[in-house]
Amino acid sequence: MKGLIIYSSKTGNTKRMAEKIYEVLKDEHQMTIKDIRDAPEVEKFDFVLLGAWIDRGSLETKALKFLKTIKNKKIGLFATLGAMPDSEHGRKVIKNLENLLIDRDSLGQHICPGLVDPKMIEKLRGITGLAVPKKIKEKMIETSLASREASEEELEAAARYFADKIKQNN
């Protein structure tokens, strides 16, 4: 099968995840991996795995726009976020990604933790006024500071997840 991995990465977290998925899948499938800025036409591929960083609980804007262009393809979503997948925020993100796959030929979704961009933490610190309640702002900063890159084991688990899903849907 011919597969396409498209990713959007701000700090390198999602790129690492995409590369690990590519490494695992390339021996079984004819794979192409591309940054979303260089995305080819998806028509010639049997399946697409779209990866992005999480912004406000969902895929970042470029990835959401790209997702809307994908029609009649098997599709899986992967993402990195500045929280643990088993946290309250992580569970909400998983649900949001599942919702993006409703009415599609889904290969599922998988998320891994990712290190939050230091510029984002500074931006959070600079928020004043009533835009974000103080307790929520403090929790966002605390979570961001505790963020970490995905381990090799977590990246490998993501890759194996999609390898299994593709095999099941063949």
**pLDDT score recorded for residue 130:** 67
Residue range 10-32, pLDDT digits in tens? 999 999 999 999 999 999 999 99
pLDDT of residue 120: 85
pLDDT of residue 7: 98
Rg, C-alpha atoms of the chain: 16
C-beta separation of 42 from 4 below 8 A? yes
| Element containing residue 152 per DSSP (H, E) | helix 152-168
Helices 152-168 + 13-25 axis angle, to 10: 50
CA 108/CA 69 separation, integer angstroms: 18
Residue 37: CB partners within 8 Å, gap ≥ 6?
Answer: none
Amino acid identity, position 5: I
- Which tokens sit at 63? 């990835």
Q: Is 109 helix (H, G, I), strand (E, B) or coil?
A: strand
* φ, ψ (nearest 5 deg) of residue 111: -120, 150
pTM of the entire predicted model: 0.93
Going from the first residue of the chain to its last (170 residues), give the mean pLDDT of each consecutive group of 10, the final group possibly shorter: 96 96 97 96 96 95 96 96 92 96 96 91 80 81 89 97 93
Total length of the chain:
170
pLDDT at 39: 93
